[in-house]
Chain A
Amino acid sequence: MATIAREDQITRPTYQEITRDITATLGRPSRGYYVLLGFVLVVLAIGAAALLYQIRFGLGVAGYTPPVMWGVYITTFVFWVGIAHSGTLISAILYLFRSAWRTSVYRTAEAMTVFAVMTAGLFPVIHVGRLWYAYWLFPYPNQRQLWVNFKSPLLWDVFAVSTYFTVSTLFLIVGLVPDLAAVREKATGWRRKLYEITSLGWRGTDQQWRHYTRAYLYLAALAAPLVLSVHSVVSWDFAMSIVPGWHATIFAPYFVAGAIYSGVAMVVTLLVPLRKVFRVQRYITVEHFENLAKLLLLTGLIVGYAYAVEYFMAWYSGSPYERAAFWNRAFGDYWWATWTMILCNGVLPLILFFRKVRQSIPALFVLSLFVNLGMWFERFVIIVVSLSFEYEPYAMGHYTPSWVEWAILAGSFAWFFMWFLLFAKNFPTVSITEVKEIIPMPRKQRAHS
């Protein structure tokens, strides 16, 4: 079983220290926090203004160029859904596998998951032509007897994403309960009220613990398959079509691996500054980062392999459309996007084979940014580049996003970080209870008074 801290680095924290250190993160926010939050809100407002502009005049204000009917919005949707995946992986699957190192990072990952799904969920709505009718995608009873088409992968997507959102939110909330009870004690004012309600009357009795751990286990078991299924369904949005470059059986595993890959990268991106700002280096250590790096390397290799297999299949299929589509990816108008993707996702992560890199937090941080960028480009390449080069040569076209799309993309990051910033100051970003679980029981004589 992994330990929370290596002996040679820092001293092992005690229960009291854990509670103290982590509740300290909820203290009075600094000026820097408000500046950051203000900046994020301004960017969000710009994104919202761009969206209103788009709603008023139509989707034409985005850069759509038929035949590229899906652009930055769907790219960003898949990007955020992908980000959402590592949270559940770390919290549910690693929980089931009893990987103790997850304990100090899973809360951040889970919160990230929920906020990423909340961000992703906006994009299909932003993307549709008449967003005021987006609710028609839900099979709700109505007197007009209108029903949805269960054959459409888009409908599966609606179910997959909404299920994922529900389960991951539940999982986050349930995991928070004992911690909220812990911070409840020292909180004052409205926050005390908030914790009193959200801790659901937790008193830490034996019985409560017994029920709680059971419930958490079952929820983890429920959430685990979603990690695989949700992004498989998202991938079928593409794989079920007849678009050359989309129609491939490898898409489900390829997308799941890609999703975890991008999600882990985002966890790293978030944890590095968080641990510094919140001074929780004792709990989130280099060893955690090394484990994340290993996960990054594994999924990165799968993704790189998928890239290679895609090209192989395009050649092996004998289909001139597939071959042309992949030739166009590598050497067509969008070659730069493809090579950015291959460089960021396929080549750069190979340096993680070196332990030195895995243990260097600055190196990991920079690498995670590249992977984030690369994974956004991966979706861009799959969606935009494939669509721009389909069957009908006369109808091929070149898409360049407009400022509206960039503004909304930036707004989506602002939206995500706004939630994250609010969460980080109001809820423990490192699990108090679970971190305590993995350190040895305090012996009476060693306990502080």
Chain B
Amino acid sequence: MKLCLALVLAMAAGVRPMPMAAQAPAATQTVAAPASQDARIAALEKQVADNATAVAAAQSAGDNGWMLVSAALVLMMSGPGLALFYGGLVRKKNILGTMMQTFAMMAVITVLWALVTYSLAFGTGNAFIGGLHNAFLHGVGLLPDKDYAATIPLQTFMVYQLMFAIITPALITGAFAERMKFSAMLVFMILWAFLVYSPMAHMVWGKGGLLNATLGGRFPCLDFAGGTVVHVTSGVSALVTALYLGKRIGYPKIPMPPHSMVLSFIGACLLWVGWFGFNAGSALAAGTLATSAFVATHFAAAAAAIGWSIAEWINHGKPSALGAISGAVAGLVGITPAAGFVSPMSALWIGLIVGVFCFFMVFFVKKIFGYDDSLDAFGVHGAGGTLGAVLTGIFANSAINPIFGAGKATGLLEGNAHQVVNQVVGIAIAWGLSIVGTLVILFVVDKTLGLRVSEADEREGLDLSQHGEEGYDWAH
């Protein structure tokens, strides 16, 4: 596909050499002094080489432009997107505490990424984790890395991937909302970046990672934009944390309705828009694959919003705004691993299936088990991510993305049943790593700092008890 683009650009440049000012004198010279055949051939060769350089530069500029915008879009998903989405869902005494948890990730994970976690995730290492060669961003410069993304500076790739490393732990905060100490949350997240995110990102996306689909993985698992790396890890860790921490005081007897559906609505819509950077950006170039992922992303979100709303309408008599936006987010989660592998029609199916599935997880399964996953981080991201990863193995199509070679069957519907097995391996590793890693971290932080705020602080709210301020000051 990129080759095609290069050819098209090369042809365009060949037919109209004038726009390239640098080549114009050389061309004139060739015409003016036809000294010998050798000289003309040399001049032509130089022109061809110059054109190739110009084409590469043009493509790099286009790709890099899109990738920088995508990186910014993914950051927008955390702040303000997720912060507003989660912030509106908690009680008003906890809005700043909830928003600060996401914002802290934007700062802390960034510094960590620069120091060491980028290297652990994407540096050369073994099948499970990267090495320390790229610590302090050593060797992460402005030249492209041929293996990761051949047309953009490695630093663009690095900062784009950073935005994923930020939002993933931020998603977990929905599970322990309204009751975790800010200090304990910070330590938990730092350890989580080392123990869970870095190895999982390396296994799926890193060179030589165990699950990498293109760079020599033992079990090639298809995960276009982070179904397992982002959503399964965060969702499962969320469930473990909710179970370990216990319920909020008074749950489920005391009413804890969202204090501002308006904030949540704005947040969810920002998430939807930001997700184009998340999924279409994961093409790592501005070519046709980005378009395909963009379309699939949008279609799945729409179908899932409808799926959840219809399920809710039938079960509860009314389609709620919270249901519609939750459905859209569930669909976005579900299409994340599949975005660059499936057709628009498959995306509609994936969205519909995941939307309805997450509705049942949140409405019924949570009630049956009685855990207090406060903002449904598991019900949406864990459940939706897991199902989305399986569906990717079913719907992936070589006509959209011939990742295993042109015409080679990719997903189950194309006849590659084995891909579903590889997807399940990826999911199982993500679940296992998240459960074990999160439990270890929770135990360590619990025994040292203590995880929960005191009962008095919890009743007072995180805004005052953790940050000494209030989100809404009615008195002034």
**Is B a genuine binding partner of A?**
no
Name A's B-contacting residues (CB within 8 A). Answer: none
